[in-house]
């Protein structure tokens, strides 16, 4: 974990060099004082301190992707130290020396931290932080906004690499190729004599199931990201649709929505909950080799309402881009609403006893139906949808994940420009939305890593909580411009990029400390050493849902409950809707690129 770097500006005796080599293993336990003592036995104190400063320390936490030159730039230091240096990595020359400030006990990690604020450093280049008696950080870049272009593009392309039903060839997929998968007709569960074509869509996560509820949320994130930050997206992501004069983020959303259209029962308008095999395939099985029978599971309220909502969104956004697709989406959304009107009782989905794939169950469909009503109201302007929303929507939770979509509903309504809008309802929602945003800011100020996360939120998919809180803050900033909101958004990006208690970059293919073993079957089953790039992993999960995390993380602080192990689905799985929410956040950072 800790590597030796060439030491410049100091001539070491043979004995000191041997001591330095020994010191590297000692600092793996973060015991810098012991390392210094070992070195001091072989050389003078100053020489020893200079040597320690060249040892990589994961107690110096930085954004390993980089910092925008005009932004606030902070590293978080675990421990009680006095000063730090910023060093030009290309020359090993010190460019800034300052005192460390702030002393906070971080509740989520158990760390006692202080801060290295080097915001005044604006020169572009590659640097590292050095702390006497502790060591040096991973390297990072200071540059323009385009320093996040690579990671943003990779996260969007990762959704292309999750596509089902098409050939991923080297022209677009590079090394991450496979033949067309899951093209066979799927059987209706309970009536195997009936088969339908539901090819396409995205492999939802580390498995090959395709689920209507999270697919709708994934597409909604992409559409909202485009609505809020259209200038951040190009038509040149090197996917099959690139060059068609439509931003590739919309092409990707369309690919997912076209699959959802296939999941709608054409007679009733209801939407099937999912299509999967009866269980999960082996971890080493590539998608084109997975030929188990596929089963379409029954219609559910949540799948139908989420579909109606995202189809109405697509109808609005694609109206002047792809008229035929827009009309088909609107017709499908209206038909899905008809199903909801005809089935007022909650139609719940639960896995049958012989089905072991993901359930994506819910105990209520009220937030999903409110979302459908709000999107249909915003798209059509018809009063009946607004009336339903006004009567049934309650401000407060504002969820932006698959299990609670009330935040999507609120966004649709407060940004609607219909003459039939209820201004009092809009103001009520805005007030509650801003109150929650202020709560996130308050939480971030108390957090040692400047993150808008409570220690209880480090559960399955905690990185989605990080990004969804950031999305909430971006919407709040649109309602009431505030640097506190946008600073908290940037701190979420810093966290995902390595400025966290584990110094772990949570996006595959990026950072100095990279994810190497995601719970992701194509990454495990292919012949490529590096995992598929651009995938956001779930992150710390104090619930310890899998056997690996239970065995190796028991007793750890919530923010430390993560392990880079392919068998730890509770901490290291991927999901399209974790990517899509992160795409929204980094789109903000990439504006005007």
Q: Give the phi and the psi of residue 92 in degrees, each rounded to 5.
A: 60, 25
Q: How far apart, in Å, are the Cα atoms of 360 and each of 210, 254, 255, 297, 487? A: 11, 22, 21, 12, 33
232: DSSP letter = G
- Residue 336 CA to residue 340 CA, distance in Å, equals 6
- Residue 65 CA to residue 494 CA, distance in Å, equals 8
Is 427 a known active-site residue?
Answer: no
* Cα 310 to chain centroid, rounded: 20
Answer yes or no: are the C-beta atoms of 50 and 131 closer than 8 Å.
no
Answer yes or no: are the C-beta atoms of 345 and 404 closer than 8 Å.
no
At what angle are helices 323-342 and 248-262 packed, to 10 degrees? 40
Answer yes or no: are the C-beta atoms of 368 and 302 closer than 8 Å.
yes
Would you tell me how many other CB atoms lie within 10 Å of the CB of residue 56? Answer: 22
Order of strands, sheet of 112-117, starting from the edge strand that comes earlier in the sequence? 60-61, 74-78, 112-117, 101-105
209: three-class secondary structure by DSSP: coil
Structure tokens, 589: 């950072």
Q: Please, how many CA atoms are within 13 Å of residue 389, restricted to the half-sphere of its CB?
A: 35
Instruction: Give Cβ neighbours of residue 17 (< 8 Å, ≥ 6 apart).
Output: none
97: three-class secondary structure by DSSP: strand
Catalytic residue among 139, 241, 368, 573: 573
Where do the DSSP E strands lie in 44-92? 60-61, 67-68, 74-78, 83-88
Q: Give the phi and the psi of residue 588 in degrees, each rounded to 5.
A: -60, -45
Phi-psi label, residue 505: left if phi above 0, alpha if psi -120 to 50, beta otherwise: beta
Catalytic residue among 47, 49, 292, 564: 564
554: three-class secondary structure by DSSP: coil
Is 564 a known active-site residue?
Answer: yes
Structure tokens, 311: 């189809």
Q: Which residues are catalytic?
A: 564, 573
């Amino acid at each position: 974990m800790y590597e030796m770097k060439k030491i410049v500006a100091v001539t070491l005796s043979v004995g000191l060099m041997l001591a330095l080599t020994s010191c590297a293993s000692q600092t793996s336990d973060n015991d810098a004082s012991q390392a210094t003592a070992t070195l001091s036995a072989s050389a003078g104190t100053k020489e020893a301190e200079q040597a320690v400063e060249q040892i990589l320390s994961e107690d110096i936490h930085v954004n390993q992707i980089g910092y925008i030159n005009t932004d606030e730039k902070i590293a978080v230091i675990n421990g009680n130290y006095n000063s730090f240096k910023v060093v030009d990595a290309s020359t090993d020359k010190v460019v800034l020396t300052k005192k460390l400030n702030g002393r906070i006990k971080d509740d989520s990690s158990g760390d006692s931290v202080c801060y290295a604020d080097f915001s005044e450093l604006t020169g572009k280049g590659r640097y590292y932080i050095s702390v006497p008696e502790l060591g040096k950080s991973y390297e990072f870049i200071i540059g323009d906004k385009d320093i996040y272009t690579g990671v943003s593009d990779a996260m969007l392309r990762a959704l292309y690499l999750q596509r089902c039903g098409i050939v991923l060839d080297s022209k677009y997929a590079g090394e991450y190729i496979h033949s067309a998968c899951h093209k066979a007709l799927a059987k209706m569960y309970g009536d195997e004599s009936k088969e339908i074509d539901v090819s396409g869509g995205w492999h939802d996560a580390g498995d090959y199931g395709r689920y209507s509820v999270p697919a709708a949320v994934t597409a909604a994130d992409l559409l909202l990201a485009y609505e809020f930050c259209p200038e951040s997206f190009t038509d040149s992501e090197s996917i099959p649709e690139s060059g068609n004069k439509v931003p590739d983020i919309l092409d990707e959303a369309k690919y997912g929505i076209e699959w959802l259209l296939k999941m709608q029962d054409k007679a009733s308008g209801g939407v099937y909950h999912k299509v999967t095999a009866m269980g999960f395939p082996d971890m080493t099985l590539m998608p084109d080799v997975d030929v188990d029978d596929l089963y379409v599971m029954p219609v559910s309220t949540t799948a139908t309402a989420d579909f109606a909502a995202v189809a109405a969104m697509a109808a609005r956004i694609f109206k002047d881009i792809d008229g035929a697709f827009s009309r088909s989406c609107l017709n499908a959304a209206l038909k899905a609403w008809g199903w909801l009107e005809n089935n007022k009782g909650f139609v719940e989905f639960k896995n049958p006893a012989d089905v072991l794939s993901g359930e994506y169950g819910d105990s209520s469909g009220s937030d999903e139906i409110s979302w459908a009503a709000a999107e249909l109201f915003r798209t059509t302007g018809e009063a009946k949808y607004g009336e339903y929303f006004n009567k049934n929507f309650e401000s407060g939770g504002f969820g932006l994940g698959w299990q609670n979509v009330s935040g999507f509903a609120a966004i649709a309504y407060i940004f609607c420009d219909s003459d039939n809008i209820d201004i009092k309802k809009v103001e009520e929602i805005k007030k509650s939305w801003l109150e929650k945003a202020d709560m996130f800011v308050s939480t971030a100020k108390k957090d040692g890593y400047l993150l808008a996360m409570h220690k209880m939120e480090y559960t399955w998919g905690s990185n989605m909580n990080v990004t969804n809180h950031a999305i909430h803050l971006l919407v709040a900033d649109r309602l009431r411009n505030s640097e506190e909101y946008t600073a908290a958004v940037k701190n979420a990006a810093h966290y995902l990029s390595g400025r966290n208690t584990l110094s772990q970059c949570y996006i595959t293919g990026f950072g100095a400390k990279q994810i190497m073993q995601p719970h992701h079957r194509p990454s495990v089953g292919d012949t490529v050493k590096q995992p598929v790039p651009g995938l956001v992993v779930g992150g710390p999960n104090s619930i310890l849902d899998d056997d690996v995390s239970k065995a190796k993380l028991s007793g750890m602080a919530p923010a430390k409950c993560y392990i880079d192990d392919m068998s730890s689905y509770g901490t290291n799985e991927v999901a399209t809707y974790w990517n899509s929410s992160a795409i929204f956040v980094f789109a903000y950072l990439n504006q005007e690129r």
